Amino acid sequence: MTEVLISGGGIAGLCLGLTLHQIGVPFHIFETSRKIKPLGVGINLQPSAVRELIALGLQHVLEDIGVETKDYGFYTKTGLEIWTEPRGRHAGYNWPQFSVHRGRLQMALYDSLLERAGQSCISTGHRLIGYQTHGDHITAEFETETGARRAKGALLIGADGIHSAVRAQMHPNEGPPVWSGAIMWRATTPAESFLSGASMILAGNDTERFVAYPISNPDPVTGLSTINWIAETSVDPTTPVDQEDWNREVSKDRFDHVFKNWNFGWINAPALIEGAETVFEYPMIDREPLEQWRHGRATLIGDAAHATYPVGSSGASQAIVDTRVLGAALRKHGATIEALDAYEAIIRPIVNQVTRANRARKGPDAIMQMAEDSCAGNFSLLEKTLPYEKRAEHAENFKKLAGLDIETINTRPPIIDLA
C-alpha cells in the first residue's frame, strides 16, 4: 500500500500517525517546523477524546501529564455561581476528562510515535507548497532548507491547522480566518487550586470573561499547581487592530485593569494575572464551515477542517476523534477516495453545527450572558429569572448537539475495534 501523506505534526497529525501505525497503514508526516516543540498553554480533553487516547495505549501518559477534571462551572462577573456540573467519570461517563498543557501532550504524542514507528516516520522542516491529485495517487511538494522535495502517496491529509496550506489550495479565495472581535490573553501561574482542586471555571459575560483550571497536580513541596488562565475582552470586530503579530508576548497592562476587582475569595483573578511570567495575546478566530473537505485524494482534519471558537473543549478533542474516524474508514475502505468520503460524511455535519453554535454564542458558556440578561445585572434575582431547570436544559442541549452527552458517548461502540 502506498503511504498516506500527513501535512502537519501537531496533535491531529501525531494522533493520526499513531492511529495509522496501530492499524497497519503506511504513513509519513511532514512538519513545517524544524523541531517539534511544546507550544501552547492549557487545553481540555473530553471523555470522547480520552477514550480514543486510551485505545491508543496512552492512558498512563494522560495520568502523568494531566489533571482529571472533576467539575465545570459558570459564574457571574461578581463570582456568583450560575451552573456547575460534574465532568468525566464524576458525571457518569465511562472515561475521564483531562486538563493538560497542550505542549506536554504534543511532546508525549511525538515521543510515543517515535518509540512505536521510528524517527523515519516524520520529516521536519518541510513546508507544503502545493499538491497535485491524480487518478490513483497524489503528489505533494515541500520546501526545505536544501530545496524542493516531492512526495508521492495514496492520499494527502491536511492536519496543518487554522492556516492550513492544504485548505488554502482547495479554497484559494477564502482569505484569512474570521476575527470575532474578542481578544484572549493566555498564561499559566503557579498557585493553589480552587474549589474541588480540579475545577474548571468561567466567569463573566460575552464581553468580559475569565477562565481558569489547573493543568498539574499540586507540587509536593510548595503545594502549588500550574493554573492555566484566559482573560478575554471583546470589541466591535470592525475596530482597526494590528493583526500582523497575533500570538505574541504582551504586557499585562493591556488588559489587567479590566479584571482588577475580580477577586471572588475562592479565586483571585488579579493575583493569577500578576503572578504569570509570560502572557500571550490570541485572537478569537474561526473559519467558515465548508460544504466539502475532500478535493481529489486530499482531505482535512482538525483545525484545518473545522477551526472553531475554543468553547466547550471541542478543539483538540474533536481533532483526536477525527483521526480515529478517518482511521476506521481507511481500515474499511483502504487508502481510497471512498475512505475520505466515509470519514467526511460522519464528521463534517456535526462539527459544522458546533462551529455555527459557538459563533452564535449558543455554546455552553452562553449561560453567563443569559444569566446577566435575565436579571438585568441584579444577580440577587437570578433564581427567579433563570430557574435551575432552564440552566440544566441549556447545558444538555449543547452536549446533544455536539454528540457529547453521556448516553451517546457511553453506548457508542469503539470507533476502531481491534478485538
Together in a domain, 314 and 334: yes
Q: Is there a single domain that holds both residue 16 and residue 114?
A: yes
CA distance 219 to 187: 19
Task: Name the least confident of 15-24, 75-84, 401-410.
Answer: 401-410
Considering the domain architecture, whether residues 329 and 222 belong to the same structural domain is answered as no
- 110 and 30 together in one domain: yes
Largest Cα separation within the chain, whole Å, is 68
pLDDT confidence of residue 241 = 62
Domain interval for residue 154: 4-41+102-176+289-361
Taking 80 as the threshold, does the pLDDT of residue 330 lie above it? Answer: yes
Mean pLDDT of 246-251: 80
Residue 147 lies in a domain: yes
> Do 347 and 225 sit in the same domain of this protein?
no
Percent of the chain topping pLDDT 90: 77
Same domain, 144 and 192: no
Is residue 163, in this structure, part of any structural domain at all? yes
CATH of the domain at 188: 3.30.9.30
SS3 at position 26: coil
Of the three residues 270, 286, 302, the one that is the final residue of a domain is: 286
Task: Report the pLDDT averaged over residues 296-307.
Answer: 96
For residues 220 and 352, membership in a common domain is answered with no
| Predicted pLDDT of residue 194 | 97
| CA distance to 290, 406, 408, 410, 415, per residue, from 92 (Å) | 34, 7, 12, 9, 20
Is 76 within a domain? no
Beta pairing, strands 42-45 & 98-101: antiparallel
Residue 306 sits in the same domain as residue 273: no
What average pLDDT is seen over the chain? 92
Asked whether residue 82 is assigned to any structural domain, the reply reads no
Higher pLDDT, 338 or 241: 338
* Cell matching residue 272: 493569577
Report how far residue 334's alpha carbon sits from residue 330's, in angstroms, rounded to the nearest whole number. Answer: 5
- Domain final position from 260, 286, 312: 286
pLDDT of residue 368: 92
pLDDT of residue 35: 93
Q: End of a domain among 263, 286, 309? A: 286
Query: At a CB cut-off of 8 Å and minimum separation 6, what does 69 contact?
Result: 44, 87, 88, 96, 97, 98, 99, 198, 199, 200, 213
Residues 236 and 304 in one domain: no
Residue linked to cell 472533576? 70
Q: Establish if 220 belongs to a structural domain.
A: yes
Domain count, the chain: 2
Could you report the per-residue pLDDT of 93-139, keeping only the tens digit for each? 999 999 999 999 999 999 999 999 999 999 999 999 999 999 999 99
Residues 279 and 226 in one domain: yes
Strand ranges (E), 76-137: 81-86, 98-101, 122-123, 127-133
> Quick check: 245 pLDDT over 60?
no
154 and 276 fall within a common domain:
no
Q: What is the per-residue DSSP string for 194-217?
A: -TTTTEEEEEE-SSEEEEEEESSP
Sheet holding 298-300, edge to edge: 122-123, 27-30, 4-7, 155-158, 298-300
User: CATH no. for residue 20?
Assistant: 3.50.50.60
The pLDDT > 70 percentage for the chain reads 95
Q: Is residue 125 part of a domain?
A: yes
Are both 151 and 10 inside the same structural domain? yes
All cell numbers assigned to 93: 461517563
Return d(Cα 317, Cα 98) in angstroms, integer.
Answer: 10
